Amino acid sequence: MKLAIYPGTFDPVTHGHLDILGRACRLFDEVVVAVAPNEAKAPLFNIEERIALLEPHIKPLGNAKLVRLEGLTVDFAKKNQAIALIRGLRAVSDFEFEFQMAQMNRHLEGSVETIFLMPNQTFFYTSSQIVKQVCRVDSSRLSQFVPDNVLKALKKKFGKK
- 87 a catalytic residue: no
Residue ranges of domains in the chain, CATH in brackets: 3-124 (3.40.50.620)
Whole-structure pTM value: 0.93
What does the pLDDT profile of the chain (161 residues) look like in tens digits?
Answer: 999 999 999 999 999 999 999 999 999 999 999 999 988 888 999 999 999 999 999 999 999 999 999 999 999 999 999 999 999 998 777 788 889 989 999 999 899 999 999 999 988 888 999 999 999 998 888 889 999 999 999 999 998 87
Instruction: Report helix, strand and coil shares of the chain as percent, to nearest 5.
Output: 50, 15, 35
Adjacency order of strands within the sheet including 30-35: 64-68, 30-35, 3-8, 84-88, 113-117
- Count of CB atoms situated within 10 Å of the CB of 19: 18
- 23 a catalytic residue: no
- 93 a catalytic residue: no
- 15 a catalytic residue: no
The residues near 44 (Cβ < 8 Å, ≥ 6 apart) are 11, 12, 132, 157
Burial status of residue 149 (CB atoms within 10 A of its CB: 0-12, 13-18, 19 or more): middle
Given 78, 90, 152, 155, the catalytic residue: 90
The pLDDT value given to residue 90: 82
